[in-house]
């Protein structure tokens, strides 16, 4: 093949262009901190990064659900703790009411205090978090206890559970349908609301047998609430462990993502300096090749 001045010039320019492209790529990597700017730079690497990104997004969604679940369960636990204290206090008052030395006015005073505690129980039934009534079941936009309804129909909640997804195939129940606490009869007693009403009536009338039944009812409701609290506590522990696991998984995937797409800064700087030296040498060499003209050969 005949090598002409034009051929040498074109080769020099091609080499300089390739060199500049490589320098441009290294400059991009250095400024962005990423190994590639478009899929064609590294198709396999881009696919890997996209898969890792999708996995991290899914974990972020599960983390958000776990945070919400934790908040709802903590609120529920706090409400049940308050309810436990109220039932214990009602039980103590009922025991006082069985004292035969009390007169009617004293037992009526006990009934009034129980009435105030009953109002507090209603408030607990209507506790909400972020606009969601925690004891209303899936009807969480409506206060479950509506005192404006006729007696026996005040409860507006349902018995449906709400589950949040906290893993690929993992769900946790985040609510306690309030009917099982406030309006449904536990084993061995009346429902909490009905038991409070009966106890107040029996204290006012001096019905000692009825007061005794009220003590039994309170004990049955106390045991029911304690059982529900234990279940809520177990779910809270599960959510806490799930959050820790999700955090570990997220950290691991982020490390893998960093390795897949982030540059080694020192290595890229070294490559850029080396490429720059090569470019300068190519320029100098090219200048010597391109510079001579026909007049130079005729001298």
* pLDDT score recorded for residue 43: 73
Is residue 26 over pLDDT 60?
no
Looking at the structure, do residues 104 and 233 belong to the same domain, yes or no? yes
Q: Tell whether 248 and 277 lie within a shared domain.
A: no
What is the tens place of the pLDDT at every residue in 34-84?
666 666 666 777 778 788 888 999 999 999 999 999 999 999 999 999 999
Q: Are residues 167 and 197 in the same domain?
A: yes
Q: How far is CA 171 from CA 78, 177, 242, in A?
A: 22, 17, 11
Give the mean model confidence (pLDDT) for residues 236-254. Answer: 93
Residue 73 lies in a domain: yes
The pLDDT of 147-158, averaged and rounded, is 89
Strand partners, 165: 171
CATH number at residue 146: 1.20.1330.10
| Structural domain containing residue 272 | 264-299
Same domain, 196 and 247: yes
Per-residue confidence band for 263, with pLDDT thresholds at 50, 70 and 90:
low
What are the E-state strand segments in 78-124? none
Percent of the chain with pLDDT over 70: 72
Q: The pTM is what?
A: 0.76
CA torsion angle for 75, 81, 85, 86 (degrees, to 10)?
40
Instruction: State the Cα–Cα distance between residues 208 and 94, nearest whole angstrom.
Output: 10
Report pLDDT digits (tens) over 138-148: 998 999 999 88
pLDDT at 6 over 80: no
Confirm whether 14 is domain-assigned: no
**Counted domains in the chain:** 2
Of 96, 106, 97, 191, nearest in space to 152 by CA: 191
Shared domain check, 277 and 136? no
Residue 286 has pLDDT above 80, yes or no: no
Are 142 and 71 part of one and the same domain? yes
């Amino acid at each position: 093949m005949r090598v002409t001045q034009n051929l040498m010039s074109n080769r020099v320019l091609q080499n300089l262009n390739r060199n500049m492209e490589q320098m441009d790529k290294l400059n991009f990597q250095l400024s962005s901190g990423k190994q590639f700017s478009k899929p064609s730079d590294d198709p396999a690497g881009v696919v890997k990064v996209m898969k890792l990104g999708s996995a991290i997004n899914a974990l972020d969604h599960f983390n958000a659900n776990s945070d919400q679940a934790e908040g709802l369960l903590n609120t529920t636990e706090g409400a049940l703790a308050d309810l436990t204290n109220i039932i214990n206090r009602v039980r103590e008052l009922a025991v006082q009411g069985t004292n035969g030395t009390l007169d009617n006015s004293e037992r009526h005073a006990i009934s009034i205090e129980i009435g105030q505690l009953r109002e507090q129980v209603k408030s607990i039934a209507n506790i909400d978090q972020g606009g969601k009534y925690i004891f209303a079941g899936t009807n969480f936009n409506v206060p479950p206890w509506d005192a404006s309804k006729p007696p026996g129909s005040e409860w507006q909640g349902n018995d449906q559970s709400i589950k949040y997804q906290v893993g690929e195939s993992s769900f946790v129940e985040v609510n306690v349908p309030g009917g099982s606490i406030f309006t449904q009869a536990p084993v061995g007693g009346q429902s909490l609301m009905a038991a409070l009403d009966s106890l107040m009536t029996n204290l006012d009338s001096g019905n000692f047998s009825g007061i005794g039944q009220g003590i039994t009812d309170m004990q049955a409701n106390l045991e029911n609430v304690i059982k529900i609290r234990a279940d809520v506590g177990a779910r809270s522990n599960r959510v806490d462990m799930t959050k820790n696991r999700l955090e570990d998984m997220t950290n691991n995937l982020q490390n893998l993502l960093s390795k897949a797409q982030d540059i080694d800064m020192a290595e890229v700087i070294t490559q850029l300096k080396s490429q720059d030296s090569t470019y300068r040498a190519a320029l100098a060499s090219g200048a010597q090749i391109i510079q001579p003209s026909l007049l130079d050969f005729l001298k």
